[in-house]
Amino acid sequence: MSTAIRASSILPARREKIELQTADGLRLVGELALPADRPPVATLICLHPLPTHGGMMDSHVLRKAAWRLPALADLAVLRFNTRGTSSVQGTSEGEFGNGIAERFDVAAAIEYAEFADLPDIWLLGWSFGTDLTLKYGCEPGVTGAILLSPPLRFSTPEDLTVWAESGKPLTALVPEFDDYLRPDEARHRFAAIGQAEVVGVPGAKHLWVGDAETVLDEVVRRVNPAVPVPLPSTWDGPMTYGDASAYADRTVAAFGERPAGLGQAAQTPGVAD
């Protein structure tokens, strides 16, 4: 009998806690989820939103990717907490590095995936994680990147030039009602990267509450195009459930200063599911 896939559904996978070692001597907590009974076709390294405002490896879109995509799309999903970040998975050593020291965190994750012989490595950055992707993710072992709600707060024109010159595929999923960068402005800003694809998502907001399935479909469409989308909304096999309430106080919409010109924030501060 088919069972509906809900926000708390965890589909079968081989899951293991991992530890990333940075070049500056920190240990970062993480998890690697692999398809239960076959090798992965491709790999997602997830870079979470701003940890000073609730971002973590368990932020809802990223945990849903880890809970569903190994089973539904044959993907390996690597999540981790950047330095100084805590979640129910644990706390990574160090302290928030303002998007500078995190270069070592991104490098450690890519290095882990390469040493583990994980195939076809893609970066999946969300908000602050998109800036880490743009600044530090254009490495030889990385196939491409997908950006969720990119604010372009820490990234520089030089970072965009690096991606442009690499020719690596880059997709930005931009909510229609984002707090920081909306689709038209995003198309203008990302024009510096000739191969960049900017996808405006109607009705969506910065935290993707209610739109996680749309995000996962768009990710799979690019990372494993052999898998039909939309992804199934039901599952015929075994399923367990996570405690989504454990994350409710961590994934908040208060991402610091609002951009000039938007007036009242399009997204009301609240909790992501």
- Asked if residue 72 belongs to a domain, the reply is yes
Confirm whether 130 is domain-assigned.
yes
CB 110 within 8 A of CB 91: no
| 254 domain-assigned | no
| Structural domains of the chain, count | 1
CA dist list (Å): 123 to 1, 97, 249: 35, 20, 26
CATH of the domain at 107: 3.40.50.1820
In a domain, 35, yes or no: yes
**Each residue's pLDDT expressed in tens, for the chain with a length of 273 residues:** 799 999 999 999 999 999 999 999 999 999 999 999 999 999 999 999 999 999 999 999 999 999 999 999 999 999 999 999 999 999 999 999 999 999 999 999 999 999 999 999 999 999 999 999 999 999 999 999 999 999 999 999 999 999 999 999 999 999 999 999 999 999 999 999 999 999 999 999 999 999 999 999 999 999 999 999 999 999 999 999 998 776 665 544 334 433 333 322 333 223 333
In a domain, 269, yes or no: no
What pLDDT does 250 receive?
54
Which residues lie below 8 Å from residue 107, measured CB to CB, with a gap of 6+? 22, 23, 136, 139
Nearest-5° angle of CA 145, CA 147, CA 151?
140
pTM listed for this prediction: 0.91
